[in-house]
Amino acid sequence: MDEIINKVANSALEVFDLEDYYPSGIRTQIDISQWLLEGLLLKEKDFREALKNYDWQQYENHFVAIHCSTEAIIPAWATILVTTYLSPFVKKVVLGSLNDLETSLYQEILSKIDYTKYQDKPVILKGCSKKSVPDNAYILAIQELQKVAKSVMYGEACSAVPLYKKGK
Protein backbone atom coordinates (compact mmCIF):
# COMPACT_ATOMS: atom_id res chain seq x y z
CA MET A 1 0.00 0.00 0.00
CA ASP A 2 1.39 3.41 -0.99
CA GLU A 3 1.93 6.01 1.69
CA ILE A 4 -0.27 9.11 1.41
CA ILE A 5 1.92 12.19 1.18
CA ASN A 6 0.65 15.65 2.05
CA LYS A 7 2.26 17.68 -0.72
CA VAL A 8 0.86 20.96 0.64
CA ALA A 9 2.50 20.43 4.04
CA ASN A 10 5.82 19.61 2.34
CA SER A 11 5.77 22.57 -0.04
CA ALA A 12 7.34 26.00 0.40
CA LEU A 13 3.83 27.48 0.39
CA GLU A 14 3.22 30.10 3.06
CA VAL A 15 -0.29 30.88 4.30
CA PHE A 16 -1.17 34.47 5.14
CA ASP A 17 -4.33 34.35 7.25
CA LEU A 18 -5.87 37.73 8.06
CA GLU A 19 -7.83 36.13 10.86
CA ASP A 20 -4.52 35.67 12.72
CA TYR A 21 -4.28 39.46 12.98
CA TYR A 22 -7.88 40.09 14.05
CA PRO A 23 -7.77 42.40 17.08
CA SER A 24 -9.91 41.16 19.93
CA GLY A 25 -12.34 43.56 21.52
CA ILE A 26 -15.92 44.71 21.37
CA ARG A 27 -17.04 46.61 18.28
CA THR A 28 -19.73 49.22 18.83
CA GLN A 29 -21.52 51.59 16.49
CA ILE A 30 -22.87 54.82 17.97
CA ASP A 31 -25.67 56.61 16.16
CA ILE A 32 -25.29 60.35 16.59
CA SER A 33 -28.94 60.91 15.63
CA GLN A 34 -29.96 59.96 19.19
CA TRP A 35 -28.77 63.40 20.31
CA LEU A 36 -30.50 65.34 17.52
CA LEU A 37 -33.94 66.96 17.67
CA GLU A 38 -36.25 64.41 16.04
CA GLY A 39 -33.08 62.68 14.83
CA LEU A 40 -32.51 65.39 12.23
CA LEU A 41 -31.66 68.76 13.72
CA LEU A 42 -28.58 69.56 15.75
CA LYS A 43 -29.31 72.24 18.35
CA GLU A 44 -25.87 72.98 19.73
CA LYS A 45 -26.84 73.74 23.33
CA ASP A 46 -29.04 70.62 23.64
CA PHE A 47 -26.48 68.49 21.81
CA ARG A 48 -23.65 69.54 24.12
CA GLU A 49 -25.82 68.97 27.20
CA ALA A 50 -26.85 65.49 26.03
CA LEU A 51 -23.22 64.51 25.42
CA LYS A 52 -22.16 65.90 28.78
CA ASN A 53 -24.79 63.78 30.58
CA TYR A 54 -24.23 60.57 28.61
CA ASP A 55 -22.56 57.50 30.17
CA TRP A 56 -19.38 57.21 28.05
CA GLN A 57 -17.71 54.78 30.41
CA GLN A 58 -19.95 51.99 29.06
CA TYR A 59 -17.62 51.93 26.02
CA GLU A 60 -14.50 51.10 28.06
CA ASN A 61 -12.03 49.26 25.79
CA HIS A 62 -14.41 49.17 22.81
CA PHE A 63 -13.61 49.88 19.19
CA VAL A 64 -16.20 52.47 18.13
CA ALA A 65 -17.66 53.61 14.82
CA ILE A 66 -19.64 56.85 14.91
CA HIS A 67 -22.36 57.28 12.30
CA CYS A 68 -25.71 58.96 11.69
CA SER A 69 -28.64 56.78 10.62
CA THR A 70 -30.75 59.70 9.43
CA GLU A 71 -30.46 62.19 6.58
CA ALA A 72 -29.29 64.88 9.03
CA ILE A 73 -26.53 67.22 7.96
CA ILE A 74 -23.98 67.03 10.74
CA PRO A 75 -21.26 69.67 11.12
CA ALA A 76 -17.75 68.24 11.37
CA TRP A 77 -17.24 69.54 14.89
CA ALA A 78 -20.14 67.40 16.17
CA THR A 79 -18.46 64.04 15.54
CA ILE A 80 -15.17 65.46 16.76
CA LEU A 81 -16.91 66.52 19.99
CA VAL A 82 -18.37 63.02 20.43
CA THR A 83 -14.84 61.67 19.97
CA THR A 84 -13.52 63.86 22.79
CA TYR A 85 -15.95 62.17 25.15
CA LEU A 86 -15.15 58.68 23.86
CA SER A 87 -11.36 58.96 23.72
CA PRO A 88 -10.64 58.49 27.43
CA PHE A 89 -12.42 55.12 27.36
CA VAL A 90 -12.12 53.47 23.95
CA LYS A 91 -9.35 51.73 22.03
CA LYS A 92 -10.20 53.44 18.74
CA VAL A 93 -12.82 55.70 17.15
CA VAL A 94 -13.65 56.07 13.46
CA LEU A 95 -16.34 57.91 11.56
CA GLY A 96 -18.40 55.47 9.53
CA SER A 97 -19.74 51.93 9.60
CA LEU A 98 -18.52 48.88 11.48
CA ASN A 99 -16.94 47.78 8.19
CA ASP A 100 -15.05 51.10 8.08
CA LEU A 101 -13.90 50.40 11.63
CA GLU A 102 -12.63 46.92 10.71
CA THR A 103 -10.84 48.34 7.67
CA SER A 104 -9.16 50.99 9.80
CA LEU A 105 -8.04 48.37 12.35
CA TYR A 106 -6.54 46.18 9.63
CA GLN A 107 -4.90 49.15 7.95
CA GLU A 108 -3.07 49.90 11.18
CA ILE A 109 -2.14 46.26 11.84
CA LEU A 110 -1.04 45.35 8.30
CA SER A 111 1.22 48.40 8.08
CA LYS A 112 3.26 47.07 11.04
CA ILE A 113 3.83 43.49 9.83
CA ASP A 114 7.27 42.32 8.74
CA TYR A 115 6.61 40.68 5.37
CA THR A 116 10.17 39.39 4.83
CA LYS A 117 8.99 35.93 5.90
CA TYR A 118 7.19 35.78 2.54
CA GLN A 119 10.16 36.96 0.46
CA ASP A 120 10.31 35.07 -2.86
CA LYS A 121 7.87 32.39 -1.64
CA PRO A 122 4.52 31.25 -2.98
CA VAL A 123 1.82 32.60 -0.66
CA ILE A 124 -1.82 31.78 -0.15
CA LEU A 125 -3.93 34.66 1.06
CA LYS A 126 -6.37 32.57 3.06
CA GLY A 127 -10.06 33.18 2.44
CA CYS A 128 -13.10 31.99 4.36
CA SER A 129 -12.60 33.41 7.80
CA LYS A 130 -14.82 32.90 10.82
CA LYS A 131 -14.23 36.42 12.05
CA SER A 132 -15.37 39.66 10.47
CA VAL A 133 -12.49 40.34 8.07
CA PRO A 134 -13.51 43.10 5.65
CA ASP A 135 -12.83 42.81 1.92
CA ASN A 136 -10.67 45.92 2.21
CA ALA A 137 -8.25 43.99 4.45
CA TYR A 138 -7.58 41.57 1.56
CA ILE A 139 -6.94 44.53 -0.73
CA LEU A 140 -4.45 45.96 1.78
CA ALA A 141 -2.78 42.57 2.28
CA ILE A 142 -2.28 41.79 -1.42
CA GLN A 143 -0.58 45.15 -1.92
CA GLU A 144 2.00 44.27 0.72
CA LEU A 145 2.42 40.63 -0.27
CA GLN A 146 2.87 41.54 -3.93
CA LYS A 147 6.00 43.52 -3.02
CA VAL A 148 7.77 40.45 -1.63
CA ALA A 149 6.14 37.17 -2.64
CA LYS A 150 7.06 35.02 -5.62
CA SER A 151 3.35 34.40 -6.19
CA VAL A 152 0.08 34.99 -4.37
CA MET A 153 -3.04 32.87 -4.53
CA TYR A 154 -6.37 33.31 -2.77
CA GLY A 155 -8.41 30.66 -0.97
CA GLU A 156 -7.26 27.30 0.36
CA ALA A 157 -4.33 25.15 -0.79
CA CYS A 158 -6.72 22.65 -2.37
CA SER A 159 -8.57 25.24 -4.43
CA ALA A 160 -6.52 28.42 -4.67
CA VAL A 161 -7.16 31.12 -7.25
CA PRO A 162 -3.97 32.64 -8.71
CA LEU A 163 -3.78 36.40 -8.15
CA TYR A 164 -0.19 37.42 -8.79
CA LYS A 165 3.05 35.97 -10.10
CA LYS A 166 6.34 37.87 -10.02
CA GLY A 167 7.85 38.43 -13.46
CA LYS A 168 11.23 36.92 -14.31
Domains of the chain, by residue range, sit at 14-23+114-165, 27-90
Output the pLDDT for position 113.
96
pLDDT score, position 52: 98
Q: Tell me how far CA of residue 94 lies from CA of 20, 62, 77, 102, in angstroms.
A: 22, 12, 14, 10
Nearest to 64 by CA among 100, 19, 13: 100
Summarised one tens digit per residue, pLDDT across range 120-156 is: 999 999 987 788 899 999 999 999 999 999 999 999 8
What pLDDT score does 2 carry?
66
Q: What is the pTM of this model?
A: 0.84
| pLDDT tens per residue, range 81-119 | 999 999 999 999 999 999 999 999 999 999 999 999 999
* SS3 label, residue 152: strand
